[in-house]
């Protein structure tokens, strides 16, 4: 699992690659949370374009970052999920609170 975060003028993009499962979700959560708390971005987009597998841990990852960003006054969106991952997101109802592009 790899994460690359770029931040410009309060807008950040976190590009993920690899797999999101219960084995590595904790590491991702910690790194994203650390970034959110220290950088306080107005907007964070998590780019799922490089994700090859995701289980329910990915939904938890999104939900937790959404809540943290909201507490910090920011917004979250999800970019480029693979078609089957987008289906999982839609089935979970996550698109009601997070924009998926």
Q: Where along the chain do its domains lie?
A: 2-100
Q: State residue 85's pLDDT score.
A: 95
> Residue 71 — pLDDT band, cuts 50, 70, 90?
very high
> Residue 101 — pLDDT band, cuts 50, 70, 90?
very high
Q: State residue 91's pLDDT score.
A: 94
Q: State residue 30's pLDDT score.
A: 96
- Predicted confidence (pLDDT) at residue 10 exceeds the cutoff of 90: no
pLDDT, mean of residues 22-40: 95
CA separation for the pair 33, 99 (Å, rounded): 19
- Predicted confidence (pLDDT) at residue 87 exceeds the cutoff of 90: yes
pLDDT, mean of residues 9-25: 94
> What CATH topology corresponds to 2-100?
Transcription Regulator spoIIAA (3.30.750)
CA separation for the pair 68, 85 (Å, rounded): 22
Q: State residue 60's pLDDT score.
A: 96
> Residue 65 — pLDDT band, cuts 50, 70, 90?
very high
Q: Contact 14/31 with Cβ under 8 angstroms?
A: no
CA separation for the pair 4, 20 (Å, rounded): 15
């Amino acid at each position: 699992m790899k994460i690359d975060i770029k931040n410009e003028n309060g807008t950040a993009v976190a590009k993920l690659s690899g797999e999101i499962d219960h084995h590595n979700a904790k590491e991702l959560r910690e790194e994203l949370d650390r970034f959110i708390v220290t950088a306080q971005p107005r907007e964070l987009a998590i780019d799922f374009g490089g994700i090859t597998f995701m289980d329910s841990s990915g939904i938890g990852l999104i939900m937790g970052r959404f809540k943290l960003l909201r507490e910090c006054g920011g917004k979250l969106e999800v970019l480029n999920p693979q078609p089957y991952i987008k289906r999982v997101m839609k089935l979970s109802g996550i698109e009601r609170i997070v924009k998926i592009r």
